Amino acid sequence: MPIPQSLSSMSRRLLPLVAILPLIGLLSGFLPLDSSRPENLQGNTALQQQLREHWQQGDLIVLVRHAERCDRSSSPCLASAEGITVRGSRSAHELGQGFAALGLGNADVLSSDQLRAAQTAESMFDQTPVEQPWLYDCQGAMLQKALEHKVAHRNLILVTHSECIEDLEHSVSVTDPATPDYASSLFVLSDGRTATQLLGYLDADRWPTR
């Protein structure tokens, strides 16, 4: 059956738009990713190997949720109730050992300016972190800000909050992000201009044996 002239004309008008959409995504740095939730890297040998290879190349942005917050726990506080617990500090220290095993020579570390995030970063790396307000006040800009701070061939570790991790996942079309656990890490593959893949996540106590 012949295509009606009106539909044919509409198709010709739409073709240039369809052709330019990928270019718009490329220029903006937000190519749509897989809309499924990121994979758990625990026990996935192939993905863990990919993680190590991309880490060596400096191609990763890692979003780490702060450790257990004291104002929502009955466990003893590390210091102020606005910070993390003693138990959370130990968990963060062990997490830092996992990152140290990967190698920190090609990694930059930024932390939210909230005490619970700053304490987490300090427990992880035994040094005062560089604090960034946008790692708490992300409001739809988490992915954009992360890409702005990613240096080519250097991994970027961001100690942040569950809302900001979910914010980034929303930006790459994860429709229903799960709330990340305390001190869990989400690994995002990036060349410094775009986010190309949510590689997966690891809970703090589920890192490979070192």
Strand segments (E) across 10-151:
60-65, 107-111, 130-131
With H, G, I as helix, E, B as strand and everything else as coil, classify residue 120. Answer: helix
Q: What is the pLDDT of residues 55-109, one digit of tens each?
A: 999 999 999 999 999 999 999 999 999 999 999 999 999 999 999 999 999 999 9
Q: How far is residue 62's CA from residue 171's CA, in Å, rounded to a whole number?
A: 15
Q: Which two tokens stand for residue 210?
A: 């070192």
Question: What is the percentage of the chain residues whose pLDDT exceeds 90?
Answer: 68
Q: How far is residue 32's CA from residue 68's CA, in Å, rounded to a whole number?
A: 32
pLDDT for the residue numbered 208: 74
Highest mean pLDDT: which of 29-43, 164-178, 186-200? 164-178
Q: CB of 20 within 8 A of CB of 14? A: no
